[in-house]
Structure 1
């Protein structure tokens, strides 16, 4: 995904305010053993790009002054109540160094899960993203989580995710192995089932003679 930015010379609160008033958003590019570079981006284009999942989880082609460089979006600051992006941070990517970054989880086959269809189970997504490490060339846009076989009362953990070649969970995620999804039977469904059991057992019983 290509991102166009422009060099920025002025910094400080006043300069950033003037920049935002002109429809621009201040930002910075850092990392890869190079000096940080101040940039500015068109606010409306940036706002629409930020709505796309791929913008947050993929390596971006950032062009500044006619020169392109691979970067990752690392931080976004929003106005607390107005639809304004206050500042963005990008990190340069070294193709030979592993990245530590978060990628989205896409949950698959939930509707066809037998526990959902037959037992009224509810599957909750506990995490919507997970932290991984890999070389830039192996970075996936997202990871798929297959919910086809999770049963009521069960949970899925980070280590249950099928990872692409060259991709690994970061060390702390590997050790903690957090829950990413769980399947439960709602209390109402349990109560209905329990209430129906005695009635079913009593059906067909003879009426005592008078």
Structure 2
């Protein structure tokens, strides 16, 4: 089955899992599906199952705040772990589609793992210097958004309802920029390069957390409107 799995199969499978949304309509989603399925191929060949990939993704993401806590240039390694965890997050679904092993348990495990990863990424922003209250507010808004989506799906809504500005890719991108900025600023200052002396890793992490908060609030409102439109009929 895996040897004949085409790009069209990948797009069709992703669409079935996301309420009929066509990934070909978005360059970002299209690229993401391609990357996920390209990475899934080798894992399928060595016998890695979708649940194992899901758990591994959370374990990798759990290392992100620990590594970021070391400070200095370590956030650059945390950046690599953020990206690896994100790839594994997409690979589990690709493995399930390629091997025909999608299950009801997987539909429970995957969103649970995603929420764990979301909270770990937000914790990383706090460790890098964002205020605790801002991290808590961001975490609550993120959980509210996903709670609305899950409740709407339980009420009969098909698919995600709407692709908002605050989905998994956005959460990964914000943390990736925060870890990269923190590590680069530290390295630049070690080399004697200071372009903006009042800017440091902590202030950048705060800025990214503020941007994330705005995206999360807008995303929550967007989803609420979309759910209302779909379920009122």
TM-score tier by shorter-chain length is: under 0.3
More helix, by proportion: 2
Greater RCO (CA < 8 Å, at least 6 residues apart): 2
Whose Rg is larger? 1
Q: TM-score, normalised by structure 2?
A: 0.22
